[in-house]
Structure 1
Amino acid sequence: MVFTLQLRQIDVSPGQCLTLRQIDWSDFEAILTELGERRASRIAYFQGVLEIRMPLPEHEKTKIMIGEFVKILLDELELDWEPYGSTTFKRPEMAAGIEPDDCFYITNSARMIGKFKLNLSIDPPPDLAIEVDVTSKTKISAYIALGVPEVWRYEEDKLQIFVLREGEYVQVETSPTFPNLPVVEGISQFLKLSETVGASAARRGFRQWVREGL
């Protein structure tokens, strides 16, 4: 006997991940429609495997702070950028879909000005994606399939930087986007500081750290 459940019958608690297998592309699109755009959950899809995860509150605060630090870096370096947050990126021909915690177009920012509907068969993927406390193989495989060149992962109080080389992610010590600053140490330091002095003071301190480093 086979039982069929609808998504509204399933609760995913904060910090948990629901994995669905043997999901074809049309099912994936239907699930995205049912989930809707105004939701806290994040999805990752690769070749029939769909993960739906619900972030913890501390996860959200961390990803917001890292995003703020990236904006400070970009502004202080006078680099143009376009923010795309947790946009759903999809490539049907690769059977891959992903929603980053945060992401930015930097090298390709000019191409993305005013663009709200994306087609990754034509449009480039984001230049930099941010993930917090995620080691999912499904999510990593989706990023590879979409060709995102740089992914930052924050876990266990440390930032890790990965760059895409020959079809796989390789951890590096220096961000190719910000090669002249030790962002791994700086972001980790000021994230920790934000827990005691608050977000505003940490942002101001980080900006001063960037200016001194430049």
Structure 2
Amino acid sequence: MGRDLLEPVSDASEQRIVLAGVSWKEYEILGATLGHRPGLRMIYLEGVLEIITTSREHEALKKIIARLLEVYALQRDIPLFSCGSPTYRREAAARGLEPDESYCLGQRREFPDLAIEVVITSGGIDKLEVYRGLGVQEVWFWQEGRFSLHGLEQGRYVTLSGSRLLADLDLAMLARFVNPDNEPRAVKAFRDTLREVR
């Protein structure tokens, strides 16, 4: 597949390559060939393919965020359906990716309502542009100890100060418990805090 390598990125924790001129069929073949390998993500946007390996830090952060969010939903009796990180594709929009974590609210759908992304290294394909083509209502990014939220509004993303899907969730409070090194204690402490602030 003689492709142009746009951006090789490598650091101690994550590696990324970006290839231009990849057809949809080639993207599907690569996806089937590489399969669901742990720590490997593929992002496709209109002929550009990004392949990323994720670090242990990345995986630990996404998991504790998921656990905390699921505890919140359980404590507040919110019908949250976990979708994990499967491959979501929409050929007509020439877009596809695997979110770090994703959820539907109320019932399962073809595409999630909420996607969560952990950012360790930056660069590469604009994930919001991919999510826009998939119609995901909210995308949360975790980077440098805080959340930034984006909500789909009239076909484009706008920056949000709080979640529209989980309007009562205090994201600053949630962020204080994102501590992978003390995961069991952090999750229990978050649960206890939620019980206190009913």
| TM band (smaller chain) | 0.7 to 0.9
166 and 135 in structure 1: CA distance in 2 versus 1, 3 angstrom threshold:
farther
Aligned to 1:131: 117
CA distance in 1, matches of 2:192, 2:148: 22
Name the SS of the counterpart of 1:159 in structure 2. Answer: strand
Superposed displacement of residue 4, structure 1: 4.7
Unaligned residue ranges in structure 1 (runs of 5+): 6-11, 113-122
Match of 1:141 among 119, 129, 133: 129
| Residues 22-171 of structure 1 mapped to structure 2, 5 A cutoff | 22-107=21-106, 109=107, 112=108, 123-133=109-119, 136-171=124-159
* One-letter identity of the residue aligned with 1:77: R
Task: Work out the number of aligned pairs and report it.
Answer: 191
Work out whether residues 44 and 138 of structure 1, in 8 Å CA contact, stay in contact via their aligned partners in 2: no
The reply on whether 1:210 has 2:197 as its aligned counterpart is: no
Superposed displacement of residue 135, structure 1: 6.0
**Cα deviation digits, residues 132-165 of structure 1 (max 9, x gap):** 0056443221100001001110001111111111
Superposed displacement of residue 167, structure 1: 1.9
Normalised TM-score (structure 2): 0.88
**Cα deviation digits, residues 57-79 of structure 1 (max 9, x gap):** 11110000000011011111112
**Cα deviation digits, residues 72-97 of structure 1 (max 9, x gap):** 11111112222211100010111110
Name the SS of the counterpart of 2:126 in structure 1. Answer: helix
Name the SS of the counterpart of 1:28 in structure 2. Answer: helix
Name the SS of the counterpart of 1:191 in structure 2. Answer: coil
Unaligned residue ranges in structure 2 (runs of 5+): 4-9
168 and 90 in structure 1: CA distance in 2 versus 1, 3 angstrom threshold:
same
Which of the two has greater strand per residue?
2
The root-mean-square deviation of aligned C-alpha atoms, in Å, is 2.2
